[in-house]
A = this chain, B = another copy of it.
Amino acid sequence: MNRRKAPESKKIILEAAGEVFAERGYSGTTIREVARRAGISIGGIYIYFQNKEELYLELTRDHMESFRKHTEMLRDKEPLAALKSLIEYHLDYAIKKTGLVSMHIKEYDLEFKKNLKKTFFDSQQRLVTDILKNGAAKGIFKDINCKETAEVILFSLRGAILDYLFGQISDLKKYGESLYRLMLNGIRRAA
């Protein structure tokens, strides 16, 4: 038997689960594997978590909250710098936590995380909208529809990450640069 204090056990389980979820996604993850990697028994998991869903939700909540906090800090920057940093943060995150990001895409459907996801996406949307509004007010950006444009920027960013997961592009940061330039200047030659 492997004896520990309750909070420590919980932490160890969460860490193991983080690894396994990242490697195998939600449905691919087995309690047996999490238990094995946490060095605890199958039943031991159920002392701390009602079920697999709860384990997943607790982890996801932590990750999203941490992401949100980091990006919120960009509000203090100048619009152009904020936009660039936001792109970089997203892409760096995708590179460092590829497994987790992949999981969220592959299992975007899961009913029980719907609320969590909506909150997260909306916060990102609000942030970019505010950056654009700020830039428009300062005369840096054109008189665009900020909310709509914010969504376009965000989904393009997510598309880059998707292509990275697909193995279609390898140097993600380079494409972040490209996207940034394209978004600012467009491809059409001025009249």
Q: Judging by beta carbons under 8 Å apart, are A183 and B182 in contact? A: yes
| Contact across chains for B108 and A165 when beta carbons are under 8 A apart | yes
The stretch that binds B, out of A38-46, A56-64, A141-149, is: A141-149
CB of A9 to closest CB in B, whole Å: 32
For the complex formed by this chain, how many copies does it contain in all? 2
**Size band of the interface chain A makes with B:** 35 or more
Q: Are A175 and B155 in contact (CB under 8 A)?
A: yes
Shortest beta-carbon distance, A65 to chain B, in Å?
19
Q: A109-B106, A159-B160, A163-B155 are in contact. Are A190 and B189 (CB under 8 A)?
A: no
Let me know if A154 and B148 touch, CB within 8 A. Answer: no
Contact A166 B106 (CB under 8 A): no
Instruction: From the candidates B175, B186, B190, name the one contacting A151 in the complex (CB within 8 A).
Output: B175
Interface check A139, CB cutoff 8 A: yes
A142–B189 touching, CB < 8 Å: yes
Is A123 on the interface with B (CB-CB < 8 A)?
Answer: no
Most buried by B among A125, A163, A168, A169: A168
Which residues from chain B contact A151 at a C-beta distance below 8 Å? 163, 168-169, 175, 178
Task: Determine if A188 is an interface residue (Cβ-Cβ < 8 Å).
Answer: yes
Q: Which residue of B lies closest to A184 (CB)?
A: B188
23 A-B pairs within 8 Å (CB atoms) are namely: A105-B105, A105-B106, A105-B162, A108-B166, A121-B168, A132-B187, A141-B189, A142-B188, A148-B174, A148-B178, A151-B169, A151-B175, A155-B159, A155-B169, A155-B175, A156-B160, A156-B179, A158-B162, A158-B163, A159-B162, A162-B162, A184-B186, A185-B186
